Amino acid sequence: MLRIYTDGSSLGNGINGALAGVGVYFGSGDSRNISEALVGPRQTNQRAELTAILRALEIAPKHRDVTIFTDSRYSIDCVTVWYINWRRNNWQTSQKKPVENRDLIEAILSNIEERNALKVQTLFHWLKGHADHEGNIEADKLAVNGARKAR
């Protein structure tokens, strides 16, 4: 089972001019580690968190079982629980509003479904943020540095 740690960071989240970054940590010195600025006009923490998961799935070998560790319950719930009703309701929330970040959620689900078709597991594990988890700490550093690159 390949263990991948992901994180998103938004410097100034929720205000005009926020800058977001993406961090993906495979391990110390691993060439697959990612620290990059979030692309696009919507520079939110949630988009950065989801993008980090998407990038991890794009890079991870398709034939390997993976566990993605993240401190974003929102991201985990989007791609393991909430999407079921959203799909059923034509991507509308229970308040009849369009689902935010649908583009990223659908891209992640597509990756998961592709892996499922290959009989490969994609698991998610929530970690408390800023706790003593080396992988989460390193993913956070990568994400913050990615946000700084956006300046």
Active site positions, annotated: 7-8, 49, 71, 130, 140
In terms of Cα–Cα distance, which of 1, 12, 16, 125 is closest to 70?
125
DSSP state of 39: P
The position carrying tokens 């100034």 is: 12
In whole angstroms, give the CA distance from residue 73 to residue 75.
5
**Do residues 138 and 25 make contact, with C-beta atoms less than 8 angstroms apart?**
yes
Q: What is the strand order of the sheet 122-126 is part of?
A: 34-37, 19-25, 2-11, 66-70, 122-126
